[in-house]
Amino acid sequence: MKARLAVAAIVLTAITGAASAAEAPAAFAACKACHKVEAGANAIGPSLFGVAGAKAGTVAAGFKYSPAMAGWGKSWDDANLAAYLANPKDSIPGNKMVFAGVKDPAAVTAIIEYLKTLK
């Protein structure tokens, strides 16, 4: 009986994708206004699926990045993500994101850790 329940739980988890990504932190709510987290699901902003560790301006196929973002040439490591999330306009002057930034360093860290799960 226990073996059947274990198998059923594994199958259900695989079907629903319940173990595929962490739950978004509360601070990510502002991001969801413009961004999706599913691969290829661009909205006002690009999909954030796979963004952590990737080169800026390259992740979301079909999204029209600003020349500033496309030409920035850096990857989204923790330090670059933290700087951008805290102050997008100062971090990459000329980018299109109108969001003012996340002021709470703990919230920035929580968002970065969540973005790392989107693979």
Q: Which residue has the tokens 């600003």?
A: 66
Domains and CATH numbers, the chain: 22-116 (1.10.760.10)
pLDDT of residue 11: 37
At residue 21, the pLDDT reads 60
User: Between vectors from CA 31 to CA 28 and to CA 77, what angle results, nearest 5°?
Assistant: 80
Q: What is the pLDDT of residues 16-37, one digit of tens each?
A: 344 346 899 999 999 999 999 9
Please give the full DSSP string across 33-47, using - where no structure is assigned.
GT---STT---SS--
Per-residue pLDDT, 101: 97
Residues of the chain predicted below pLDDT 50: 1-20
- What DSSP letter does each residue of 11-33 carry, written as one string? HHHHHHTTTSSPPPPGGGGTGGG
| Alpha-carbon gap, residue 94 to 54, rounded angstroms | 20
What is the model's pLDDT at position 83? 98
The neighbour count for residue 21, using CB atoms within 10 Å, is: 16
pTM of the model: 0.80
